Chains A and B, each alone.
Chain A
Amino acid sequence: MSDAAADLVIIGSGPAGMAAACEARAVGLSVVLLDEQASLGGQIYRNIESAPPDRLDVMGQDYAAGQSLALAFRNSGVRYLGGAVVWNVASDGTVDYVANGRAEKVVGKYVLVASGAMERPFPIKGWTLPGVMGAGAGQILLKGSGALPSGPVVLAGCGPLLYLLAWQYLRAGVAIQAVVDTTALSAYLRAARHLAGALRGWQDLAKGIKLLAALRRHGVPVFSGARELSIEGEKQIEGFSFTRRGKRVRIPVALLLLHQGVVPNTQLSWSIGAEHRWSPDQLCWQPVTDTWGRLAEMPIYVAGDSRAIVGAQASAVQGRLAALAIGERLGAVTDIARRAAPLQRELRLRTHIRPFLDALYRPNDENRIPQKDSVLVCRCEEVTAGQIRRYVDLGCKGPNQAKAFGRSGMGPCQGRFCGLTVTELIAQARGVEPCDVGYYRIRSPIKPIMLGDFVQ
């Protein structure tokens, strides 16, 4: 195993990672950036360097904006390693990864975790059937390979990405069978309180209104206020039903894309042993950091959506700020206040709308905490909501104990897709808050690795 070293090792090549690398290089730090995908850009700017013009057109301005960042990144002198799967980050800055079937290690004086977001799980009856995917997955297929739904598609849930994907599909000529919106009336009322902040981020608000208008113009049926979602099918999805205005609606569906927002991908920060707090606004765990993104007592920083959901542009700014803070610690930045001030202003501007979005697109309780006992919660080990509640009846206090009771969170995804649900289910059943219940203990290796990778 060849040992390498750098001032800064960055994990993730999305906006936060790329921008941090540019900033760190600009102040003279040596930078290694690792990303498990084969191409640059993370999920938001996925395939940004090789997307053909017609795809860039379909995706829209916000995606194409990633091109200039990717170009600056390429020209920054960073050592970029794609296809590098990080499986361990130690609290001293050592990063273990596998690339090209070989186990490698790089030691950073500082490490920046910029591992981004993942789609929030959507545990409803039938969500494990083939033909049901995340809307983010649909968008990744479009960005990564230009693939579009072959037939009519139904999009269901809430959140900006759902409408963005619908708009992108319309531009690409995809037949959208229906958009089923789960946003409840109460969410609009809650969100109204944050309208002032949202108006300061009016550009984002205007974008949302434009997307909705496009759907209406194209005559896409939009079912709003949908509740009691249920997916039917034997070997694959056959139908999708929901209640709207007191009436049950059932539509035959071959492809259903679900979405109810994104949550930080915290697998790495948990595995390092960092403290996390439950965010009652974003309904997810967030690593506890200082204002620059540093985890307490460690040479490790977190930036972008893996810290808290802020969106692509704010993520890039956070990446730059973390790089400046690291530069200062290494003696390469002596005027951090002057350099950081415009970035901090931009960060405030980019995050004004966040409380409004968090309130408006707060996923409904029934779509996060399944009330039907038969709904699968842990997809890998096939543990249901009813089983988790039964464990609580038997004395189970939290997610870690739930593992011992019935293997939830012990399959290949290592709890990524059931962790939030299990925390909230147990909290509800015990009548306490999620922060009282905690999360799975995540240990490295956080990705599957083969013993053969260690044999030279």
Chain B
Amino acid sequence: MTTEPLFSIPRSLESETVTITFDDEALRVPAGISVAAALLVGGVHDFRSSVVGQVPRAPYCMMGVCFECLVEVDGVPARQSCLVPVQDGMQVRRQIGAAELDDVSFGEEP
């Protein structure tokens, strides 16, 4: 899923790193940055597929406005990855189409 990254962070700055996964692939990224930034420097080009045409999308604005960076974070769908800071062990998944409520229990049948 990952290829040559479009952005990179120069190694000159010695910073802590954390490990997250994107679709089960481990990515070692600097601590304190957003999930969207982490995925971009980790070589992820395709964050989600669009809800109608099912075509690849990636962040456009990086400031919480465009909602193109939606991914699933630790089981919660449709998170704005540009607004969520990375945390060690975070499990991120590509979001396919619209968010669904497939894990929600609707209660017992009478």
Contact = CB atoms under 8 A, between A and B. Distances in A.
- Classify the interface of chain A: helix, strand, loop or mixed: loop
B57 A128 contact: yes
Interface-centre pick from B9, B37, B46, B66 (highest chain A CB count, 10 A)? B66
A82 to B, nearest CB: 11
Contacts of A85: 83
Nearest to B47: A130
Nearest to A55: B13
B9 A416 contact: no
Interface residues of B, number: 43
B41 A145 contact: yes
Contacts of A128: 50, 55, 57, 60, 68
B58 to A, nearest CB: 4
A149 B13 contact: no
Given A141-B7, A146-B9, A132 B62 contact: no
B19 interface: no
Nearest to A52: B13
B63 A140 contact: yes
A218 to B, nearest CB: 19
Interface residues of A, number: 45
Contacts of B8: 147-148, 150
9 contacts: A118-B61, A128-B68, A146-B9, A147-B9, A148-B7, A150-B4, A236-B56, A265-B65, A382-B51
A382 B53 contact: yes
A205 to B, nearest CB: 28
A43 B63 CA distance: 8
Q: Which of A131, A133, A381, A416 has the most CB of B within 10 A?
A: A133
B78 interface: yes
B66 A413 contact: yes
A48 to B, nearest CB: 14
B60 A133 contact: yes
Nearest to A43: B63
Contacts of B5: 150
Given A37-B83, A54-B12, A417-B65, A141 B37 contact: yes
B10 A134 contact: no
Centre residue among A54, A129, A150, A382 by max chain B CB count within 10 A: A150
Interface string A344-379: 000000000000000000000000000000000001
Contact of B78 (A36, A141, A381, A412): A412
Report which residue of A85, A412, A416 has the largest number of chain B beta carbons within 10 angstroms of its beta carbon.
A412
A148 B33 contact: no
A15 interface: no
A141 B40 contact: yes
Nearest to A116: B63
Contacts of B58: 130-131, 133, 236
Interface in A115-131: 118-119, 128-131
A382 B52 contact: yes
B6 interface: yes
A133 B62 CA distance: 9
Contacts of A133: 58-62
A320 B71 CA distance: 39
